[in-house]
Chain A
């Protein structure tokens, strides 16, 4: 929204070398934006390369809206959005509804008893648990398992999936272009009449998802690093949730979460492919216009307080070291964000990057090293992270020192003209490279629309990178890459997996 005029002028220059299909005027012509009466934002980008389309439904909620007790709930609801509706996934919704209510009642009774403050009565807990499981078995009789996915797949859907991050939930797949109405029906019903059937089985599934990452040293390191870097802001919580919460929250909790955040004013739906805006918008309006208008949820209150001392986490593992460190910095809407993106490119992109040349090529202490902007998310003030995977025999301390001397270089010496030009050239080319794929384009446009309030933000960001100066880079490096603003997490080897005995030494 800032600098619109400037960026349009810039964009015209940028795309002058491109084929006509990619000039800005053409992009403007191919994209239609409409905000429906209920507040839902719809973007349609016409790209008739093949008779298919992709969509991306962005919901402006992730684990950022969770608090102790319900961590993992945004992701849990994402899983539930595949469980069907009052018409999909059931053989008799009238009876199923009552059965699901009985599951909830039984669960509340059981959960209260087993987590009660007083000493539990084991026998009573077991009885209540059995009653709950019986109620689940009863409700299961009405379930037509996985019917939502089945419909999508039978009609030719591809890449059906969804994701949850620290700040958004996204749903997506691709369809042949003759299935627009079916898509609109499914996507609207899924958020208009979701039925949280098989909730507690799915909760187990989600817990298995957590175990995948906690069963790997790197997963454990990342979780501890993130938790250490944040004391107040929910970025510190794992998206997948803590185990205790995954074993406790209920379908009622998920329903409440959904009611609050799955409101049309909080959603952006993007369609890209062989679709004509004039034809699909009326369909989208008919179906998704039915979502009930509600006020957009109040913005998140908590802001991470300034860090005033270095934090260090050390994990002892039977594998080789890994080193990560992060520095707090402003969020993606801050005027300096493009500078950090330029820094990321300079430090990490390709074999010419500073960290590769220093740690990998010259010092040979790392197999991979990089730095990136926007961890664990972008919307709120976040971290700029540096990391390296060490080569055998090298310690996290060596890595730390090598990374710090590269940071020192950026602080004390201007980067070269060639480096700055390279960063800008690549930013431009990398953007254009992403424009040739329906699903990728839907992600890019939908995310930009929700983050910047305008899909053109995607292009504008590149023009912001174009404006970055050497002084800017030194300025942000000096103001943010300081010890008191730093969190380090490193993995140290308790015993390298060299000797036969090492296999016995689990933690």
Chain B
């Protein structure tokens, strides 16, 4: 939604306007009377500083990005392997690992001792787990780098996963499980993922009391042993340091580290939802949440750029079709949006979503259907195309307006094996998108009859029964009780 420097596209688009209004401006020396009179001067050239890439002989990749504005230094090591690789019967393992890795301390210091030291120095060392990776980060004033980096290294190489922190981490997960049906939007997003990816998919499944209870300290120790090897690690460091000195420090710390087995590649299959109407009963609400969903695609798809333009025109920002038609003109929703979701290494979710008062639930479904029909009969107009492309290209600069953002983009491309100049290709790709491209991707990816329609709400208050739209499959979101599978060895 946000990209570039004021590029050539805008300049040309407004040239005639600027030209035509020169006379008007001359008469009113001080202020423009119409926004069209105001032409932007060329944006001065800006070449964001690329981070330095280093690859050690053990496979570890390091990026260094100097940024001397503030006296901080931050590092993030992202490690391949995440919750999609954990066993289904231990769903939650990686989340617990991501917590206890830090709270369980190191061989020499308990997690509580680390807390005392770090907090007293306004420093952080944190660990976490995600779908495809785990991470360990540090963030400190540069004057504390020696000590904080030492903590970082000890956690990386000698974590202890002390047993007493396991129940704490499990408490966090169990609390989240016990409250996961509080918010209708949360229910809708969770169930939508299950419908699209399959309830058992590693990208959709959720932890239960039983799967949390099944996780043991040994699981955490084994996970660390299996995944934390230099050839699975990408480390990015940004802040107030000298790159040569930092490189020497990191080489000294990591050169000795021996290679291990590579993390497995993603093998998860994706099939898409079974079309139909799905319903989750939630009686303590005044509004319904509606989603229409299907499988999206990946960012290495050649259609990606056309999809980005389509998404901007259809459901992005403050003047897209969905926003203008469903929110501004119909007043049906506060939160509304949608588009073809994309991810780096697995298909995203194609989604239209909104929240609307219970008694306009059917009206909102009708409004979505109308938009989907209009896409067939009346795809993006020239004006809509221009508008969407300008929005992406002119705000492109916000993709790299800080050194840390530049670093983070590079880290992502490295992690997912994308070309290092992906951002520049993105800009070029967007520029080339035509009206035909946008129509084509709309027809190719959005099929009304293949969508799953999911409604979370209070059926008694709906304007029309959901069965108006076809047979309704009710989804039971009751939380399975904690019985049985209590603490296993």
Interface positions of A (Cβ within 8 A of B): 17-19, 21-22, 49-52, 82, 87-88, 140, 145-160, 174, 176-179, 181-182, 185-186, 189, 198, 200-209, 211-212, 214-218, 286-287, 290, 317-320, 349-352, 360-361, 364, 367, 389-392, 418, 421-422, 425-426, 428-430, 432-433, 435-437, 496-500, 502-507
Given pairs A146-B328, A153-B387, A421-B120, 16 additional interface contacts (CB within 8 A): A19-B68, A51-B44, A150-B319, A151-B35, A156-B396, A160-B318, A178-B42, A181-B32, A181-B38, A207-B357, A390-B175, A392-B482, A429-B141, A435-B70, A436-B70, A437-B402
User: Chain B residues with Cβ under 8 A from A425's Cβ?
Assistant: 120-122
Q: Which B312-348 residues have C-beta < 8 A from chain A?
A: 317-319, 323-324, 327-335
What's the least CB distance linking B26 to chain A, in Å? 15
Partner of A287, one of B31, B332, B335, B481: B31
Identify 18 residue pairs between A and B in the complex whose beta-carbon atoms are under 8 Å apart, listed by A's number. Answer: A19-B70, A22-B70, A51-B5, A145-B319, A152-B318, A155-B10, A156-B3, A176-B40, A178-B42, A201-B328, A206-B334, A350-B115, A361-B168, A367-B171, A425-B122, A433-B70, A497-B178, A499-B481
* Interface membership of B240, Cβ < 8 A: yes
A53 vs chain B, min Cβ distance (A): 10
Q: Which residue of B lies closest to A357 (CB)?
A: B112
Distance between Cα atoms of A52 and B399 in the complex (Å)? 11
B319–A146 CB distance below 8 A: yes
Report chain B residues within 8 Å CB of A178.
6, 40-44
Query: Do residues A176 and B319 form an inter-chain contact, with CB atoms below 8 A?
Result: no
CA–CA, A435 to B112, complex, Å? 30
Closest residue of chain B to A156, judged by CB? B394
Q: In the complex, what's the smallest C-beta–C-beta distance from A89 to chain B, in angstroms?
A: 10
Name the residue on A nearest B398 (C-beta): A158
Contact of A422 among B44, B120, B182 (CB under 8 A): B120
Please measure, in the bound complex, the distance between the C-alpha atom of A502 and the C-alpha atom of B69, giving whole angstroms. 55
Is there an interface contact between B328 and A185, defined as CB atoms closer than 8 Å? no
- Verify if B88 is at the interface (C-beta below 8 Å from A): no
> Interface segment, B224-232, B284-292, B426-434, B435-443?
B284-292
Using an 8 Å CB-CB cutoff, how does the interface string of B448-489 with A read, 1 for contact, 0 for none? Answer: 000000000010000000000000000011110110000000
Q: From known contacts A153-B317, A182-B38, infer whether A503 and B398 are also in contact, taking CB-CB under 8 Å.
A: no
Instruction: Point out which of B3, B34, B398 has the most chain A C-beta atoms below 10 A from its C-beta.
Output: B398
Chain B contacts for A49, CB-based, 8 A: 69, 401-402
Q: Do A145 and B328 touch (CB < 8 A)?
A: yes
Chain A residues within an 8 Å CB radius of B43: 51, 176-178
Pick from B168, B284, B395: contact of A157, CB under 8 Å: B395
Cα of A421 to Cα of B5 in the assembled complex, Å:
45
B355 at the interface (CB under 8 A from A): yes
Confirm or deny: B2 has a beta carbon within 8 angstroms of a beta carbon on chain A: yes
Cα distance A502–B478 when bound, in Å? Answer: 8
- B479:A497 contact, CB within 8 angstroms: yes
Contact of A146 among B121, B282, B318, B391 (CB under 8 A): B318
Shortest Cβ gap from A417 to chain B (Å): 11
Q: Give the residue among B35, B68, B70, B458 with the most A Cβ atoms within 10 A.
A: B35
Q: Nearest chain B CB to A4's CB is how many angstroms away?
A: 25
User: Is the CB–CB distance between B182 and A218 below 8 Å?
Assistant: yes
**In-complex Cβ contact of A350 among B6, B72, B119, B318 (8 A):** B119
Question: Which residue from chain A places its CB closest to the CB of B356 in the assembled complex?
Answer: A208
- Prevailing SS type, chain A contact patch: helix
Chain B residues, Cβ within 8 Å of A155: 6, 10, 40, 390, 394
Residues of B within 8 A of A212 (CB): 185, 287, 334-335, 355
Could you tell me the distance between the alpha carbons of A433 and B324 in the complex, rounded to whole angstroms? 38
- Would you list the 7 A-B pairs with minimal beta carbon distance, nearest first? A506-B283, A149-B318, A156-B394, A204-B331, A429-B122, A201-B331, A158-B2
Judge whether B5 and A176 touch: CB under 8 Å: yes
When C-beta atoms are compared, the residue in chain A nearest to B4 turns out to be: A156
Cα-based distance from A195 to B323 in the complex (angstroms): 20
Interface string of B57-71 (1 = CB under 8 A from A): 000000000001111
> Given that A50-B48, A287-B31, A392-B174 are contacting pairs, would A21 and B122 also be in contact in the complex, using a CB cutoff of 8 Å?
no
Closest Cβ neighbor of A22 among chain B residues: B70
| Interface status of B46 (Cβ within 8 A of chain A) | yes
Q: Is B372 an interface residue (CB 8 A)?
A: no
A215–B361 Cα distance when bound, in Å, is 15
Taken together as a complex, chains A and B put the C-alpha atoms of A148 and B285 apart, in Å, by: 33
Separation in Å of the A214 CB from the closest CB of chain B? 6
Name the residue of chain B whose CB is nearest to the CB of A161. B318
**Alpha-carbon distance between A360 and B318 when the two chains are bound, in angstroms:** 42
Please give, as numbers and ranges, the residues of chain B lying within 8 Å of A507 by CB-CB distance. Answer: 283-284
In the bound complex, what is the Cα–Cα distance between A505 and B393 (angstroms)?
Answer: 51
Nearest CB to that of A419 among chain B residues?
A: B120
